[in-house]
Chain A
Amino acid sequence: DAMVIQNPRYQVTQFGKPVTLSCSQTLNHNVMYWYQQKSSQAPKLLFHYYDKDFNNEADTPDNFQSRRPNTSFCFLDIRSPGLGDAAMYLCATSRDATGGPDTQYFGPGTRLTVL
């Protein structure tokens, strides 16, 4: 089945220790998104790629970086995780960012714990 896959599902890191979360998709969608979601809050868009074009949200901290080496894969790097970065990180994809429903399909998420 075509899908969005995230690894790992659970990640524990230490304060200040870099961590990388990965996302892959078999939907062949052009757009990939990274969201941060804290308990009982709306998902917060960190950045998205339209193909290789990177779009950073204005309020995304510099501590968060992303890479998309090819259509299928996208990575989220947190350079120096703080306690406030503990959250669920959701990867999503959509076919095209403009026009039509362009529904976003989500991976299962990575739950990040910072000790």
Chain B
Amino acid sequence: GQNIDQPTEMTATEGAIVQINCTYQTSGFNGLFWYQQHAGEAPTFLSYNVLDGLEEKGRFSSFLSRSKGYSYLLLKELQMKDSASYLCAVRDSNYQLIWGAGTKLIIKP
């Protein structure tokens, strides 16, 4: 079967750096997405990786290793508004998005 694994919950301190990991086992690979979802709201797109390496976008960076079936989302200079769930999703060979359950990130002052 297809599977996306992420930690259920993480806690970090305002101003710090946090790395959220995602491992996947899917039928084929056509890109990996990270979405942010605040409680009770819809997911919003953060980043897309299809080739190995690091994609940087402001305070957020996303890394991909296809050979290891692994990605991480790196959040720098954490702000209270970054408290949210972060969902990893992989597009498989049928161009279907396989979603992880999300990592709930709690930011403490």
User: Do the beta carbons of A106 and B48 come within 8 Å of each other?
Assistant: no
Taking the closest CB of chain A, its distance from the CB of B106, in whole angstroms, is: 13
User: Do the beta carbons of A108 and B41 come within 8 Å of each other?
Assistant: yes
User: Do the beta carbons of A103 and B102 come within 8 Å of each other?
Assistant: no
User: Do the beta carbons of B33 and A103 come within 8 Å of each other?
Assistant: yes
- With A101-B31, A103-B33: A42-B43 Cβ-Cβ less than 8 Å: no
Interface of A is mostly: loop
Q: How large is the interface on B (under 10, 10 to 19, 20 to 34, 35 or more residues)?
A: 20 to 34
Is B97's CB within 8 Å of the partner chain A? yes
Bound CA span A107–B42, Å = 6
Q: Contact partner of B97 among A104, A105, A107, CB < 8 A?
A: A104
- A11-57: which have CB < 8 Å to B? 40-45
Bound CA span A12–B31, Å = 37
Closest chain B residue to A101, Cβ basis: B48
Residues on the A chain within 8 Å of B33, using CB: 101, 103-104
User: Do the beta carbons of B95 and A42 come within 8 Å of each other?
Assistant: no
Is B1's CB within 8 Å of the partner chain A? no
Contact with A along B23-46 (1 / 0, CB 8 A): 000000001010000001111110
Is A90's CB within 8 Å of the partner chain B? yes
Q: Contact partner of A97 among B40, B43, B95, B99, CB < 8 A?
A: B95
Taking the closest CB of chain B, its distance from the CB of A91, in whole angstroms, is: 9
Bound CA span A101–B44, Å = 14
